[in-house]
A and B are shown apart, each in its own frame.
Chain A
Amino acid sequence: MGGLASLSVLSLPPARYGRPSASLPRKGTPMKLILSCLMALTLVIFGAPSQAQDGPLRIEITEGVIEPLPFAAPTFVAEGAQAQQYAQEITQVVRNDLTGTGLFRLISQDAFISQITSFESPVQFADWRAINAQALITGAVSTDGAGRVVVKFRVYDVFAGTELGQGMQFAGTADGLRRMGHKVADQVYSRITGEGGYFDSRVVFVSESGPKDNRAKRLAIMDYDGANLQYLTDSSSIVLAPRFSPNGDRVLYTSYQSGEPRVHVLDVGSVQSRILPSQSGTMSFSPRFAPNGQRLLYSATNGANTDIYSMEIATGQAAQITTAPSIETAPSFSPDGSQIVFESDRSGTQQLYIMPAGGGEARRISFGEGRYGTPVWSPRGDLIAFTKQNAGRFHIGVMRTDGSEERLLTASFLDESPTWAPNGRVLMFSRETQGETGSSALYSVDISGRNLKRVTTPSGGSDPNWGPLQ
């Protein structure tokens, strides 16, 4: 579907929308979610009036959204007194996730004509059309005696007068309320945009505090929206550029704990960190996992020369991937693991190259003005995100894997370190401000260049790395 064309469908007359009598198969089969041992979150798809999946309520993200889609999300119905607080919290997470994308606009409850007092009551579509709610999300929250919280929800295409997808329910413990909200929002986002969600995900980054000439750095992990922040290290050593494993169970990072930069791996489940083997007298840094989680790429410096190496994590066996006498660093795998993109100054300035993951001939892909670094392959495989330095400014940008269609998404005194959201539609990066009082903070931006915003962290932050959808 074309981007703007599909958007304009949203304002077409209702007649075109609904095919309520169509008998359609349900989308997919019930999923089994595998979650942490700390919260058994179960998912049930429950009986619902099954309706058209291919309705018109759809946002095409790549083209950018000029007018956010208005939606109503009445506070989920609390089924029982204890659920009241939970219902409010979950609903708020859903609202914040959706509006935070810049693709949706929340309609104030003050405007509502209908109230949703029961999850099962028929929806009065006319009342929601009258306030121009394109999408309606209804939900209910209940608790059982065993401390479990259950949230149910449905999404409606108001102008079509149909349900979008099927009702679902998630169950978990009270400390998993935010995750339940993120899961609901991921479903809503996914049904309306046709893209994978990214709300139920975490970010590992370097938390920074103090002035530039005495900056303390420590690893921290948090939900994508900044909630539930926990520190993973103290600030006694410089730590740099943490990177999640493909399933989020481990984090690779560079630490000066031994006095020199060395790659470490931290196991998130068992909470153990260990240094990876490296040749004595060399520095190792810039690690990144292979898509299978068994290997990593990293840079090692020997004398003046920095090259890219590959290592099997279990055995510590390393192989040299690049051999040029120049600086080769910041490697990142293609999603299928067959190729790598990296930066090199072999031409005289930093530029981006792609080569087979096992070694071989490298092909330069960046040809614009300026210097290009920190390339990261999109999880969808279609784009490379990078940092560009030109004429005294820094930019976060994306290009196709053949180097074409370069688009700069940001510009500032110092932007760097882009990382992809799990769905490949949003980038997070760090931005350092200028001068004596300069500090670093995390930002995110759509690949359309829209919705640039700061990610809330308690102090400064740099080198974000976005983990997988949980």
Chain B
Amino acid sequence: MRITTFTSLALIATIAIAGCTRADRFGEGADGAGGAGGMAGANAGVVPGSANDPTSAAYFNQTIGDRVLFAVDQSTLSPSAQDTLRQQAQWLTSNPSYQAVIEGHADEQGTREYNLALGARRANAVMEYLVAQGVAESRLRFVSYGKERPIEVCSTESCYMQNRRAVTVIAGGALS
């Protein structure tokens, strides 16, 4: 009996949502986020924007590592996570045209809302660490996806440990 109502509802919802853009869904890093504009040509033989161009997002994602992992229900940064984050901070400091969004994630073992809050704790821990290392806070923000965006789909610890992550997603750059 509500067909009329909901047809129009769906229409309006569609209109409302059309045009919205989604942040990088999987935290795989920002391919083509603009790193190519960095220092192209500074090093002969380096393909600008590739993983061996130290000013590229690809370098950040692959060589430094864009993510750190956490223990179950924890947001403490392990020594190796701190090491990754120190390098992230150095890179961000020497590539000041980039911004970063830190995405916090949880594995599926947990209730949805708690995991959202837990993902925020993890992302916040990363953000605070980067700021303490000298990255301007205004260049950083964070968002939690809770357990909504796993990258591994098995239901064992080998997957869960990859999903309990905070990913530093680089954006911007190329402000020539």
Contact = CB atoms under 8 A, between A and B. Distances in A.
Contacts of A304: 75, 120-121, 124-125
Nearest to B26: A213
Nearest to B101: A259
Contacts of A261: 116, 143-144
A462 B155 CA distance: 18
A414 interface: yes
A405 interface: no
Contacts of B3: 175, 230
Contacts of A175: 1, 3
A299 B113 contact: yes
B9 interface: yes
A283 B116 contact: yes
Contact of B153 (A39, A211, A329, A413): A211
A36 B1 contact: yes
B25 to A, nearest CB: 8
A259 B142 CA distance: 10
B143 to A, nearest CB: 5
B5 interface: yes
A182 to B, nearest CB: 12
Interface residues of B, number: 51
Name, among B1, B110, B153, B154, the residue most crowded by chain A CB atoms within 10 Å (CB to CB).
Answer: B1
Interface stretch (B10-18, B35-43, B78-86): B10-18
B153 A436 contact: yes
B141 A281 contact: yes
A109 interface: no
Interface in A153-185: 173, 175-176, 179
A237 B117 contact: no
Contacts of B1: 36, 38-39, 173, 175-176, 179, 228
A273 B16 contact: yes
A389 B109 contact: yes
B31 interface: no
B17 A237 contact: yes
B154 A273 contact: no
Interface string B90-132: 0000000000000000001111111011101100110010000
Given A271-B5, A299-B117, A241 B112 contact: yes
A347 to B, nearest CB: 13
B120 A257 contact: no
A138 interface: no
A233 B13 contact: yes
Contacts of B12: 271-273
A233 B113 contact: no
A256 B22 contact: yes
A343 B115 CA distance: 12
A432 B147 CA distance: 12
Given A38-B5, A230-B9, A304-B121, A259 B153 contact: no
Name, among B2, B128, B141, B143, the residue most crowded by chain A CB atoms within 10 Å (CB to CB).
Answer: B2
Nearest to B4: A38
B153 to A, nearest CB: 4
A329 B114 contact: yes
A390 to B, nearest CB: 12
Interface string A406-441: 000000011011000000000000001011101000
A435 B155 contact: yes
B17 A306 contact: no
Contact of A238 (B5, B14, B148, B150): B148
B23 interface: yes
B20 interface: yes
A259 B23 contact: yes
A413 B8 contact: no
Interface in A325-360: 327, 329-330, 343, 345, 349-350
11 contacts: A36-B1, A36-B5, A39-B1, A212-B108, A212-B153, A213-B26, A213-B149, A234-B13, A236-B18, A306-B120, A329-B113
Interface of B: 1-10, 12-14, 16-18, 20-23, 25-26, 73, 75, 108-114, 116-118, 120-121, 124-125, 128, 141, 143-145, 148-155
The 10 closest A-B pairs by CB, nearest first: A230-B6, A271-B9, A373-B111, A306-B117, A327-B117, A304-B124, A434-B155, A212-B153, A301-B120, A175-B1
